[in-house]
Amino acid sequence: MATEPRLTADFWVRAYLARLGLASIPAYVVCRGDPTAGAVLVKLATLDGQARLFQRSFDMMTGARNWVILSEGPEAEVDTALRRQRQHDPDLWVIEVESRDGRTLLEEEGLSG
């Protein structure tokens, strides 16, 4: 069974930031993780005191990768969940996206891998 080549975390993050930039959606690297294999979390701040934290998930049955909400609600609570994740995984990348209308582009083709 052949496996798909995986992008490095650093490459994926740079490509994601470029896509967000082309869509005029502000985003920042809050924490740099392992450049090769670090996991990536995406925090969406809707600039109204609310936020969502997304984590890439792997479906063992289908092999599909998708983004799931790890935490959502008041931004302070999402930040607490984010700190807990960083304590468990210091190689974690954290990207913060600022979008009043909730756009992250994570649902677009090519961003699940």
Separation of alpha carbons 42 and 21, rounded Å? 15
Distances (CA, A) of 57 to 26, 44, 64, 79, 88: 24, 17, 8, 20, 17
Structure pTM? 0.88
- Non-local (6+) Cβ contacts of 25 within 8 A are 97, 98, 99, 103, 104, 105
CATH code, residues 29-98: 3.40.1530.20
Tens place of pLDDT for every residue, the chain, 113 residues?
Answer: 445 567 899 999 999 999 999 999 999 999 999 999 889 999 999 999 999 999 988 777 887 778 999 999 999 999 999 999 999 998 999 999 999 999 999 988 665 55
